[in-house]
Amino acid sequence: MAVEVAWSPEAIEDIESIAAYIERDSPFYARAVVQKILDLGRSLPAFPAAGRVVPELDDPAVRELLSTAIG
């Protein structure tokens, strides 16, 4: 069964905001953090149950990865 990863518009805006904030001090680390976020997204088809179910939505198909995975 193929798993599709869909980034919400809010998630994309958040990633752009994170990058812009970090880039003020370090363009290198801004790129590194964004790359790590995108890599985590790319790993999801192989591990679709990774992360936790978003509590507000209570839908097993909607999950979030904790920020500690980025460090």
Amino acid at 5: V
Model pLDDT, residue 51: 84
pLDDT at 71: 55
- Give the mean pLDDT of the chain: 87
Q: Which pLDDT value is given to residue 17?
A: 97
Q: Which one, of 47, 69, 38, 37, lies nearest residue 3 by Cα?
A: 47
- Does the predicted model carry a pTM greater than 0.75? no
- Give me the residue spans of the domains in the chain: 9-69
Please classify residue 37 by burial: count the beta carbons closer than 10 Å to its beta carbon, then call 0-12 exposed, 13-18 middle and 19+ buried: buried
Low-confidence ranges of the chain (pLDDT < 70): 1, 66-71
pLDDT single digits (tens) 13-22: 999 999 999 9
